[in-house]
Structure 1
Amino acid sequence: MAPEFGTPTDLVLRSLLFAPGNRAEVLLKLPRSAPSAAVIDLEDAVPPDRKAEARTVTHEVAPALIGDVRLFVRVSATHTDHFATDVTDGLPPGLTGVVVPKLESIAAVDAASAALDAAGHPDLPIVAGLETVAGVVDARTVTTHPRVQWCYFGAEDYVADLGGVRTAANHEVATARAQVAQAARLGGIQAIDMVVIDFGDDERFQREATEARHLGFSGKLCIHPAQVPLAPGPCSGRLPMNSRGPLR
């Protein structure tokens, strides 16, 4: 039996599980670990020469997934050559929302929103990726946009943009991580914490999940099914539910 899904604004994202859009055999396994939601990735996980294939695969597998898991698609960033085609050709019916990476300003969200409207997706909410220096510094302008219903902090791209060095201790992302959580609270939306690239390091994932919960994040990005059950549980304080109503 298909799960009873609430409206997007009722959805608490404890675990957001990503898989490459060109890997049909992997995508079809997404519901097995029962994540809060799954993401078909058309961005970082897909080589440039496989983008068109990934869009086709997305349409092929989506009908089999949508009845079993809340499904999102991550498109390419708005400033890239792939964004427009991802929006027009890579978003099948029945999605819960769309993940737009590397958003840095209200103008970028406006551009993404206009592209979604023009492609026939006026009611599709956005998960905003805050993963550049500009995106983190101006995070509040993104999180308060009415089209944005969730956001996430992307530590790997943020540190690369900063010109820093990524470490397991996370000192280099401590300030940015807190800024994203604060901006999400001010915007009345949920924030999802950064990925742990080493999916075999359960100790690190659990440590970061605890930190994320303490900072006010609702959940964690996941890149392997084994990470899903390690994602943050409910906070002892206020549940980080979205305070906005549905899109109008």
Structure 2
Amino acid sequence: MDMRARPYRSVLYIPGSKTRALDKARSMAVDAIIFDLEDAVSVEEKANARQTLATALAEDGYGRRMKIVRINGLDTDWGRADAEAVVAMQPDAVLLPKVNGPADLDALAEITGDLPIWAMMETPLGMLNAAAIAAHPRLAGFVMGTNDLAKDLQCRFRADRLPLMTSLGLCLLAAKAHGVVIVDGVYNAFKDDEGLRAECRQGRDMGMDGKTLIHPAQVEIANAAFAPSEEETDLARRQIAAFEEAERQGQGVAVVDGRIVENLHVATAREILAKAEAIAALASE
């Protein structure tokens, strides 16, 4: 599936140590799962979690959901063993925490080979090196780690996320420049539906591909926010039809709802329809 068409509306963190959660995830309406061996697993459970996750992924049953494994950093006691184990698990990608620069990805790729790498973007140095990280040949996606980033920035929490906008913007520019996926950070108040809805809307308006989630209760809101709306798909169809008709008449521009439609609008319209079709395919499973 084309990377730009594949949906990443909802990207749910699941602890690699929790068998029940790993099983439940097989039936959740999520686009992607981050199987976590890092923050969600205690020190005492690190080795067991690795084996528990390996068993779950061997059994599979996750359908078309994107399977991403977040390992511990290679500078920890568990990182190298995690990376070696992930190769055998054969997920869709491996997620590396606290990526500061391309050298971090080089070190992981020496272990994981051709496996696509996603990067946790959660440090000030990572923000400054976002373009170089996105350009790495193994890099396929960014995950914004806004909690760790806010801690390092010593910024205050604001509903509008203004203190994080420079960081989010730098990563967004880098991701779009190099054609990699970028998913927004988590919303911590998992019982605050309106707050989550507003933050999802903000991320979608910025150009994020989806939202990382910490609780299954957040999935429905994220899926709705990052999916093309009925109005968007209807407009896309009408733009394509009008432009094709204009081309038949030897014109390079069409007009829909009083607005000019050019090649670039048609390209966006086709992406919207492709994403809607991909979402429908996931829902039909």
Q: Normalising to structure 2: TM-score of the pair?
A: 0.75
1:195 aligned partner? 186
1:154-175 residue CA offsets vs partner (Å, 9 max, x unmatched): 1100011223333444222121
Aligned letter for 1:56?
Q
Contact 1:58 1:90 (C-alpha < 8 Å) held by counterparts? no
1:53-106 residue CA offsets vs partner (Å, 9 max, x unmatched): 100100111133344233111111233222101111245434111111211111
1:55 aligned partner? 50
> 1:226 and 2:217 equivalent?
yes
Please state how far the C-alpha of 1:31 moved relative to its aligned partner. 2.6
Q: Give the Cα–Cα distance (whole angstroms) in 2 for the partners of residues 33 and 41 of structure 1.
A: 17
Q: Give the Cα–Cα distance (whole angstroms) in 2 for the partners of residues 166 and 76 of structure 1.
A: 27
Task: Specify which of 130, 140, 157 is matched with residue 148 of structure 2.
Answer: 157
> 1:186 and 2:180 equivalent?
no
* Gap change, CA 1:153 and 1:67, over 3 Å in 2: closer
Which is greater in Rg?
A: 2
1:216 aligned partner? 207
Contact 1:77 1:83 (C-alpha < 8 Å) held by counterparts? yes
Q: Give the Cα–Cα distance (whole angstroms) in 2 for the partners of residues 57 and 91 of structure 1.
A: 15
* Gap change, CA 1:190 and 1:67, over 3 Å in 2: closer
Contact 2:87 2:112 (C-alpha < 8 Å) held by counterparts? no
Query: Residue 11 of structure 1: SS of its match in structure 2?
Result: coil
* Gap change, CA 1:196 and 1:91, over 3 Å in 2: farther
Aligned letter for 2:227?
G
Task: Specify which of 116, 137, 148 is matched with residue 139 of structure 2.
Answer: 148
Aligned letter for 1:97?
A
Number of equivalences: 231
Larger relative helix fraction:
2
* Gap change, CA 1:29 and 1:12, over 3 Å in 2: same
Which piece of structure 1 moves more, 202-211 or 228-237? 228-237
> 1:175 and 2:166 equivalent?
yes
> 1:131 and 2:126 equivalent?
no
Please state how far the C-alpha of 1:108 moved relative to its aligned partner. 0.9
2:281 aligned partner? none
Contact 1:59 1:91 (C-alpha < 8 Å) held by counterparts? no
Q: Percent identity?
A: 30
Aligned letter for 2:174?
A
2:97 aligned partner? 101
Which piece of structure 1 moves more, 74-83 or 84-93? 84-93
* Gap change, CA 1:25 and 1:7, over 3 Å in 2: farther
